[in-house]
Structure 1
Amino acid sequence: MDKYTDLIHQTFDFPTDEFKVVNNELFFNGIPLMEIIKEYGTPLKLTYLPKISSQIQKAKQLFNEGMKKVDYNGTYTYCYCTKSSHFSFVLEEALKNDIHLETSSGYDIQIIKALYKKGKISKDTYIVCNGYKRERYREWISELINDGFKNCTPILDHLGEIDYYKEHIKVKAKVGIRLASDEEPKFEFYTSRLGVRYNDVIDLYEKQIKDDPKFELKMLHYFINTGIKDTSYYWSELSRFVHKYCEVKKVCPELDTIDIGGGFPIKTSIQTEYDYQYMTEEILRTIKRICTEEGVPEPNIFTEFGIFTVGESGATIYSILDEKLQNDKELWYMIDGSFITNLPDAWALNQRWPLLAVNHWDKEYRKTQLGGMTCDSQDYYNSEMHSFQVFLPKYPKDEPLYIGFFHTGAYQESLSGYGGIKHCLIPAPQHILVDKDEDGNIISRQFAPEQTSESMLRILGYEV
């Protein structure tokens, strides 16, 4: 008999740092998942808070060691981009690690104010304000700066944005400029809709910023939608950006920082081929080499890691409700949730995550498809990153089979409309936070219960 445990051990170098099996039950970052399931039931979303801190420390170590190795003279600053997950428990865990923040909407500024009120950040914290800004966003940025947040830095996204700040900011302020990067070759558009054209940057500085004593240009920012990848496209865009930095630096002495937007990837399979150390060192070497050639000091570096910060902290766990053989070869395992409502980018973007059985590792495995509970034909999951199929233990009739999707900590709540109305009125699953106490013991608490029918009816305008 071919057991599920044999399949996993033969396919991967298993166990890993975050996954192991004890008595045929899966542990995730040392968490006995079956104990969590027995306490709270399924479906559930789980956030393991210490993983957020360990990811931040990993990136800081990579850049700090890389700077020493290549003799890089600038500093490194880690920003968390809040759009990956706005939850207070994510921000508060991340901020334990001496980091700074990147925002993308006006409502983010209200989160900044709330964090300051709770003593989680100070007026010295860097607030890098990105995005195309409506008046409300520009207004709240101006209020922060006027209130003494001296490192709140609006990143100009178009030529006319600074006009508002000139009228409403009353103190000396730092600004940055986002450069409009070219999209990757297969993209539908050639140049990003966001940012200022490369050819307009120096003109914007000289006409709007240089002679205004209230503003100084401190940062150039660019964003690569693919994230940091070892591709000719990535290195070409990085080199182009650094050359432009050098060009601007020669006419703008106060410019001393770049923000290389687009973060490190996370593991979408149980193991990854990505070489974080190599990529970090190559980024630093590339920037240093170009600056040396141009006779310009290396800039300080900001990164804004969102998915990398929070993605691998998350898991989504389901029960298999039943199995259905729909013809001679198409076997379906029906989950007690929905991909469209709980993991929407599996449906919309064909996103894949590590998928593992939580229990029954000693059972025989079989090929299957996973079906969600909505009425939509697209509510399914039938392939993994390493394989165009899914294998799971045989469905035992006498006891439940549980499965987990891992590294689901980024974007899922915002994409699925957390707390709102879901397709076919499938409720949002409960959300469990897992942490460790001072003695290293695992502790858990329910952050939110499963969405109730009453809450949905209220949203829809029915009296309850």
Structure 2
Amino acid sequence: MNTKYIDLINQTFDFPQPEFKLEGKELMFHDIDLMQLVETYGAPLKFTYLPQISNNIQRAKGWFDKALKNNDYKGKYSYCYCTKSSHFKHVLHEALKNDIHIETSSAFDIDIVENLKKEGKITNDTYVISNGFKRAQYVTNIARLINNGHNNCIPIIDNYEEIDLLSQEIDGNFNIGIRIASEEEPKFEFYTSRLGIGYKNIVPFYKNQIKDNKKVTLKMLHFFINTGIRDNAYYWNELSKCLKVYTNLKKICPSLDSLNIGGGFPIKNSLAFEFDYEYMVDEIINQIKLVCEEEGVDVPNIFTEFGSFTVGESGGAIYEVLYQKQQNDREKWNMINSSFITTLPDTWAINKRFVMLPVNRWHDTYERVLLGGLTCDSDDYYNSEQHMNAIYLPKYNKDKPLYIGFFNIGAYQETIGGFGGLQHCLIPSPKHILIDKDANGTVTTKLFSEQQKSEDLLKILGYAN
């Protein structure tokens, strides 16, 4: 009988997969021995596999390069990293190995940019695309960056006041972009994004505030929708409306030469994940070229701002199953030695799915379970709603420790969870490990941060100096 966990996986999915394979009874991730990681550092732990950041950047750049050639597209392509997905130094340093640019969203982002410039990681030739709603400190920091010679910093105008605010602090001429306020999917509670300026208002805005303003030059139109890049009618319809605005604007604004299509590439959230990235990129480039040809305008240079796609698939977390609680005839709760609310907040906030697999005991029999966290909050769990299907794991055995891994968690979870700060029920943040691999395939690991101690939390709370 096929009753082992490995049998279940083989019957359900194509396995092994490029990043996942089995050695004996234990799971390997990009050839990283996860049980050895646990034995060395303990659990719970989080890790970042740095090479995957470069891998995904190069994949995307390859798709766009191919699409430009296939479509005889005359514009250039620039890959920007959306820093809000993960601001950590090790993430930026790895990403910047790949000749990319930066997208910022708040005042302190500019401080990071200036730090990277001092270290020689970026230069004045690096594009800094400054998005977000801008007030006081953000405006001041953008102005300081431009005044110090970074002319490739392009503030993306989000509302009607920002040009004046920037003009007051920037000494000379500067380039700008405009963000389109896209219309949201019908199922949303509101119709139009709070970010940017409405489709119908962009050309009048250009005529009233930019056309005769000798200090500013419009270079970029910015387009992004909340659901990201998907092969559905909603995405193609919004892109079509964006291109109509671009061509209308281009006809009266010769300096406009770039279209920023934002981010939104999905990342793998189950072993059954499928998404034809290459087709989507080729079709986007094709649609842009067709519309520009129909309207008789030059095609724009293309910018993207991939955040989750850049860093998401580099991250993972490993927990130990501490205990099993049989709460009724049908529900078995496997309690982990950490919290989903604090370490994977998107599982709680938006029912986000991640790849979840046991790290060991793949040749044991399996059972259906629910996963519970350590906090006293009823929402601290991970079940079939997030996981898409029922959760099956090797059967609990108090004498045989079970470790489970969550993968592709590298985007947003640290910042949303408040890295280094207080956590719900004072559950400590787990230790964080950085994993790298050299050209010869030699793996190195380094402790980035220790698990929080009670003294750390007591100091934040004012109980200790």
For normalisation by structure 2, the TM-score amounts to 0.98
Q: Distance in 1 between matches of 2:224 and 2:398?
A: 51
Q: Distance in 1 between matches of 2:413 and 2:74?
A: 38
- Which deviations, in whole Å up to 9, do the C-alpha atoms of 1:9-59 show, x marking residues without a partner? 111100000000001100001101011110000000110000000000000
Q: Which residue of 1 aligns with 2:137?
A: 136
- Conservation of the 8 A alpha-carbon contact between 1:319 and 1:403: yes
Q: Distance in 2 between matches of 1:454 and 1:282?
A: 55
Pairwise CA distance, 1:457: 0.5
- Structure 2: which amino acid aligns with 1:41? G
Q: Does the alignment pair 1:47 with 2:48?
A: yes
Pairwise CA distance, 1:387: 4.1
- Structure 2: which amino acid aligns with 1:28? F
- Conservation of the 8 A alpha-carbon contact between 1:321 and 1:334: yes
Q: Which residue of 1 aligns with 2:120?
A: 119
Q: Which residue of 1 aligns with 2:359?
A: 358
Map 1:37-436 to 2 at 5 A.
37-383=38-384, 387-436=388-437
Pairwise CA distance, 1:397: 2.7
Pairwise CA distance, 1:398: 2.1
Q: Distance in 1 between matches of 2:198 and 2:335?
A: 50
Q: Distance in 2 between matches of 1:341 and 1:73?
A: 47
- Which deviations, in whole Å up to 9, do the C-alpha atoms of 1:301-344 show, x marking residues without a partner? 00000000000001111001111111222111110000011111
Q: Distance in 2 between matches of 1:397 and 1:197?
A: 59
Q: Distance in 1 between matches of 2:388 and 2:165?
A: 52
- Structure 1: which amino acid aligns with 2:398? K
- Conservation of the 8 A alpha-carbon contact between 2:359 and 2:403: yes
User: Which segment drifts farther, 374-383 or 50-59?
Assistant: 374-383
Pairwise CA distance, 1:172: 2.2
Q: Distance in 2 between matches of 1:164 and 1:149?
A: 18
- Conservation of the 8 A alpha-carbon contact between 1:226 and 1:262: no
- Structure 1: gaps of 5 or more residues: none
Q: Does the alignment pair 1:36 with 2:58?
A: no
Pairwise CA distance, 1:271: 3.3
User: Which segment drifts farther, 376-385 or 176-185?
Assistant: 376-385
Pairwise CA distance, 1:382: 1.3
Q: Distance in 2 between matches of 1:292 and 1:387?
A: 43
Q: Distance in 2 between matches of 1:143 and 1:268?
A: 40
- Conservation of the 8 A alpha-carbon contact between 2:347 and 2:386: no
Q: Distance in 2 between matches of 1:26 and 1:253?
A: 56
Pairwise CA distance, 1:214: 2.3
Q: Distance in 1 between matches of 2:87 and 2:304?
A: 18
Percent identity of equivalent pairs:
58
Pairwise CA distance, 1:135: 1.1
- Conservation of the 8 A alpha-carbon contact between 2:370 and 2:381: yes
Q: Which residue of 1 aligns with 2:451?
A: 450
- Structure 2: which amino acid aligns with 1:112? V
User: Which segment drifts farther, 8-17 or 389-398?
Assistant: 389-398
- Structure 1: which amino acid aligns with 2:21? K
Counterpart of 1:223 in 2: which secondary structure? coil
Q: Distance in 2 between matches of 1:330 and 1:385?
A: 17
- Conservation of the 8 A alpha-carbon contact between 1:419 and 1:428: yes
- Conservation of the 8 A alpha-carbon contact between 2:353 and 2:388: no
Counterpart of 2:261 in 1: which secondary structure? strand
- Structure 2: gaps of 5 or more residues: none
Counterpart of 1:236 in 2: which secondary structure? helix
- Tell me how many residue pairs correspond in the alignment: 464
- Conservation of the 8 A alpha-carbon contact between 2:77 and 2:302: yes
RMSD: 1.1
Pairwise CA distance, 1:385: 6.3
User: Structure 1 residues 424, 385: CA separation in 2 closer, same or farther (over 3 Å shift)?
Assistant: closer
Counterpart of 1:6 in 2: which secondary structure? helix
- Structure 2: which amino acid aligns with 1:453? S
- Which deviations, in whole Å up to 9, do the C-alpha atoms of 1:392-419 show, x marking residues without a partner? 0012332311000100000001111111
Pairwise CA distance, 1:438: 4.0
User: Which segment drifts farther, 437-446 or 240-249?
Assistant: 437-446
- Which deviations, in whole Å up to 9, do the C-alpha atoms of 1:140-164 show, x marking residues without a partner? 1011111000100000000111001
- Structure 2: which amino acid aligns with 1:141? I
- Structure 2: which amino acid aligns with 1:118? E
Counterpart of 2:140 in 1: which secondary structure? helix
Q: Distance in 2 between matches of 1:271 and 1:21?
A: 17
User: Which segment drifts farther, 272-281 or 299-308?
Assistant: 272-281
Q: Distance in 2 between matches of 1:129 and 1:36?
A: 38
- Structure 2: which amino acid aligns with 1:78? Y
- Conservation of the 8 A alpha-carbon contact between 2:367 and 2:393: yes
- Conservation of the 8 A alpha-carbon contact between 1:353 and 1:384: no
Counterpart of 1:217 in 2: which secondary structure? strand
User: Which segment drifts farther, 203-212 or 344-353?
Assistant: 203-212
Q: Which residue of 2 aligns with 1:24?
A: 25
Q: Distance in 2 between matches of 1:208 and 1:170?
A: 18
Counterpart of 1:110 in 2: which secondary structure? helix
